[in-house]
Every structure is written in C-alpha cells, then in structure tokens.
Amino acid sequence: MNPILLTIILVPVIEIYLLIKIGSQVGAITTIFLIFTTAIIGVYYAKYEGLNTLKSGFAQLSKNETPAYEVISGAAIAFAALLLIIPGFATDALGFLLIFPYSRKMIFKKFSKKFKPKENKKNNFIDGDFEDIEDDNDRKI
C-alpha cells in the first residue's frame, strides 16, 4: 500500500483514539484546553526558533557560506508549526520534537545517514606523469 495513503488514513485514526483516551481520563474541557495550549505555545516557540534560524542563516551568508542546515531547519520548523496547529496529541508530540534544536539535529543525522551517497571505492582514473617540453623546432602550421 502507498505510504502516503497509509499516513493519510492512520494519522486521523491515531489522533481520534488519543483524543478519546485522554479525554476520558482528564475530561473534555481540559482536553480542549490542552489542544489550544499546545497550539499557542508551539506556534510562539516556532516563531522564536524560526527567527533564530533566520539569524543564523544570515550569519552564514555574511561569511560567504551556504546556509544549507539553516534552510532545512527552517523548513522543519515550518512543518512543526503546522503539526502543532493541527488538533491532536500525536502531531503535537512530533511538532515539538521538530521544534527543539537538539532533537531536530538528531532527526537530521538519522535521515542524513539514510540519504548519504555511497562511496565508490573503485578508482576510475589512470595515474600517470607528464613532462612539458619546450622545443624551438616546433613546426608552425
């Protein structure tokens, strides 16, 4: 089965299950309050981390370096903010994992190992020496 289709089906099912379980333990009003609280706190913290990432990116640019990590980090923070706005506890947990810099770096390291290009140990070149000889008797055409 397509992993995207499976995700589209499973995420709402997991969220509904968690909302029912947590709602039955702490009550409906408290559950709704928790959902709004995590969304508000998460969006403000995402704004804070996004501004820090933007500052870091400009610092990289001023050093004439490519801000590759900052671009990926900014996209992850934007996705985390989206996850925090969506009502639910599983998406909030994933959103908070992506917002905090330490856990974000750990997740990036895990994915970078997966997508790292394999090194080819076979050398596809011929090693040799050359000598440039200046000759006054070169034929000119």
The pLDDT, as a whole number, for residue 61 is 92
The pLDDT, as a whole number, for residue 30 is 95
Whole-number percent of the chain with pLDDT over 90:
63
Q: Could you tell me the residue range of the domain that residue 75 belongs to?
A: 37-107
Domain assignment present for residue 60? The answer is: yes
Domain assignment present for residue 136? The answer is: no
Where the chain has pLDDT below 50, the residues are: none
**Helices (DSSP H) in the chain: which residue ranges?**
3-26, 28-62, 68-85, 89-99, 101-115
User: What residue type is assigned to position 105 of the chain?
Assistant: K
Q: Tell me the per-residue pLDDT of 97-125, one tens digit each, with 9 for 90 and over.
A: 999 999 999 988 888 877 776 665 666 66
Domain assignment present for residue 15? The answer is: no
The pLDDT, as a whole number, for residue 114 is 76
The CA distance from 43 to 35, in Å, is 12
Q: Which two tokens stand for residue 96?
A: 């908070």
Domain assignment present for residue 55? The answer is: yes
pTM exceeds 0.85, yes or no: no
**For residue 68, how far is the Cα from the chain centroid?**
11
The pLDDT, as a whole number, for residue 99 is 92
The pLDDT, as a whole number, for residue 138 is 58
Q: Which two tokens stand for residue 37?
A: 């609280």
The pLDDT, as a whole number, for residue 110 is 87
Q: Report how many domains make up the chain.
A: 1
